[in-house]
Structure 1
Amino acid sequence: MRYVIIGAGAVGGTIGVRLSEAGRDVTLAARGAHLAAIREHGLTLGTPDGEHVARLPAVGEPAAGEPPLTPDTVLVLTVKSQDTEAALRSWADLPVLGGGTAAQRLPLLTAQNGVANERAAARLFARVYPVCVWLPATHLEPGRVIASGHPYSGMLHLGTFPHGSDDLAHRISADLTASRLLAPVRDDVMRWKYGKLLRNLGNAVQALFGTPAGLEADGRTGPEEGADGRRAVQADLLAAVRTEGEAVLAAAGIPHTSAEEEAAERGDRVEPVPVAGQRRQGGSTWQSLARDAGSAETDYLNGEIVLLGRMHGVPTPVNGAVQVAMRRAVRERIPAGAFPVAGLTDQPRDVANPTS
């Protein structure tokens, strides 16, 4: 099989390099300075056991014939959820050798946070394979990705959408397993993705209020917003967004894995460890702010809980407030970890507490 990684950032870059190391045929799709760096120098993957430079074919906006799509091609979608619709439209109608289009003939893996990508993909693609991603990786500079998971780089549960599995899922699993990636096949993969959604509700909290070392110097925080105070706010928010999320999923009748089940599954096989003496600084949403990417995935994480809450009559004031705060952070280009505590509590009353 041939693999095309659509979005060669933290997750996609790690998967692509690991598959290539295992002898699989891999093409990367990227944009801007990252694409230019990959083409000029290759993609560097920093891991606990050293650096790996993969010189792989790399494309930008796809076009007919570039990359050539053969019937044995597997598309792996790893862009952030806010970029899913554009990516799907770009790839869906590309021709496949022998006839038909990518959407008609090729399997599409959705290796992304959130649970909205699969429904969006299934509107266009006939064969959608959800992937629940546990892969601690970082992408902050062009041409370089850090994968801090050890002894395996990550765990990728996969199956078919909306449920079940098939022979292709097992073949893909075998390729991933040969690539320093654990890849269990699960008939209930969406249950795992909803469990991961609950965990990801804390992504924006970390991005907004992460470790505030040195923030007073730039005037964004005052003495009343010291490290201890911000950590307390962060802890309270982490608990609150998950509590709301669990209540919403219960009201909607949506099953999900528990934190205990996930911990038992992962065990000590995907442990984040320092790479070149540096610990991982933050998750995917934190990285979007740190890179000043211009968008964040929060509307598809906390926003998913807000949406389901509205549909099932469950108040979600904390997730809603975090969602609005993150949009402000992106809009005003507030650095990762530097959002003012007061900024979360000074919102209009009907936004911060719609039930009051």
Structure 2
Amino acid sequence: MRYIIIGAGAIGGTVGGRLAESGHDVVLVARGAHYEAVRERGLRVRTSDGTREHRLPVIQTPAELGELRPDDVLFLAVKTQDCEAALDAWSGRPVAGGGTAGEVLPLVCAQNGVESERIALRRFRRVYGMCVWLPATHVEPGSVSAAGAPYTGILHIGRYPKGTDDTARLVAADLEKSKLLAPVVADVMRWKYGKLLSNLANAIEAVTGPLSGDEAVALYRRARAEGEAVLAAAGIEAVSEQEQKETRGDRIRLEPLDGSERGGGSSWQSLSRGTGTIEADYLNGEITLLGRLHGVPTPVNATLQSVANAFARERRAAGSMPVAELLGLVAQAEERAGQRAGDRAGDRAQERPS
């Protein structure tokens, strides 16, 4: 199979590099300065077992690749906010032997959040979810780094909305040969919802810096408690923190990479690169959405979503807001939510017959 990595950033670049290292056919899709750097110098992938330069085909648009092959696997690794444009660009591309990519090719959604699979299923018949646990960094054009060892990460894969098949098992086998654990699961979205709850910390880290203090950690626990309440109200099951921890076990440890410190997760990296966008609408915003649908207040996540989006829009420096300032904004939102709840209670009381 040939792997077309749509979005060769931290996750896509690392997976593409590992697949290429183990002998698989890989095409990278990148843009801007990252595309130019990879085209001119190759993709530099730093891992615990060294740094490798991969001279791989790299394109910006599907038209540059021409007709797709029947054995192609599309590996979607752009941020969720960029999914629509990427899927529109690729779904209608012709495949040798007949049909379009959306009709015949498998599409693997390797993003945080739970929305990209729904977006993809409108355009692609064969959609696979992937729950990504792969501590990787991309802040410098042409370079990615991943500190996991001896395996680089764990990538649960399964059909969307549920189930498994031979394609999932073949992809998993290729990943396993490439120093990436890849359990094939029939309930992949359960894993992705569990990861979603963990990713509610991303906005806090992005705007205030690493979650090293008690106040920041406590704020994350409050955001997570809202998320758990929302998922319970919606009847959505998610893997627990304990199950995730047990699955990773001691099979992956994080090793510092010389000259390549990992400053933060995916949202922090978006702010550091000054992309102008961030994935908060599909992380904290997913909890906000479900809360509104099911009548569960989510002032903590709504505030984190709003502040993270403002940081991205205004291109403010990652980690530049004091935790105390963020806590103050959350307190104001909680006060407003309490007032609205009191107003609704008062309205209901007035509606009761005397």
Same fold, TM-score > 0.5, yes or no: yes
1:264-310 C-alpha deviation (Å, 9 max, x unpaired): 00112222210116542110001111111110001100000000000
Contact 1:131 1:189 in 2 (8 A): yes
Scaled by the length of structure 2, the TM-score of the pair is 0.92
- Report which of the two has the higher share of helix: 2
User: Which residue identity is paired with 2:318?
Assistant: A
2:138 is paired with a residue of what secondary structure? strand
The CA deviation at 1:342 is: 2.4
Asked if residue 235 in structure 1 is aligned to residue 199 in structure 2, the reply is: no
**Do the aligned partners of 1:192 and 1:257 also contact (CA within 8 Å) in 2?**
yes
2:256 is equivalent to residue 257 of structure 1: no
Corresponding residue of 1:12 = 12
Quote the residue 1:118 is aligned against: 117
Superposition pairs for residues 1-356 of structure 1, below 5 Å? 1-63=1-63, 66-211=65-210, 231-276=213-258, 278-340=260-322, 341-342=324-325, 345-346=328-329, 353-356=336-339
d(CA) in 1 for partners of 2:70 and 2:220?
44
TM-score between the two structures when normalised by the length of structure 1? 0.91
Contact 2:79-2:279 within 8 A present in 1 as well: yes
Unaligned ranges ≥5, structure 1 = 213-229
SS of 2:139's equivalent in the other structure is strand
Q: Could you tell me how far apart the structure 1 residues matched to 2:240 and 2:334 are?
A: 29
Contact 1:289/1:335, CA 8 A, preserved across alignment: yes
Q: Specify every segment of 5 or more residues in structure 2 that has no aligned partner in the other structure, as ranges.
A: 340-354
Do the aligned partners of residues 80 and 319 (structure 1) sit closer, same or farther apart at CA in structure 2, a change above 3 Å counting? same
1:30/1:278 Cα in 2 relative to 1: closer, same or farther (>3 Å)? closer
1:198·1:245 contact (CA, 8 Å) conserved in 2?
yes
Structure ID, larger Rg = 2
Aligned residues: 338
Distance (Å, rounded) in 2 between the aligned partners of 1:94 and 1:211: 42
The one-letter code matched in structure 2 to 1:99 is: G
1:231 Cα offset (Å): 2.7
| Compared CA separation, residues 294 and 351, structure 1 to 2 (3 A) | farther
CA-atom RMSD in angstroms:
1.7
Letter in 2 for 1:7: G
Distance verdict in 2 for CA 1:9–1:126, change over 3 Å? same
Deviation at 1:233, TM superposition (A): 3.1
Partner of 1:219: none
Quick check: 14-23 or 265-274, which moved more? 265-274
Tell me the secondary structure at the aligned position of residue 245 of structure 2. helix
The answer to whether the Cα contact below 8 Å between 1:76 and 1:108 also exists between their aligned partners in 2 is yes
Show CA shifts across 1:185-214 (max 9, x none): 0001110000000000101111111149xx
Deviation at 1:160, TM superposition (A): 0.2
1:17 Cα offset (Å): 0.6
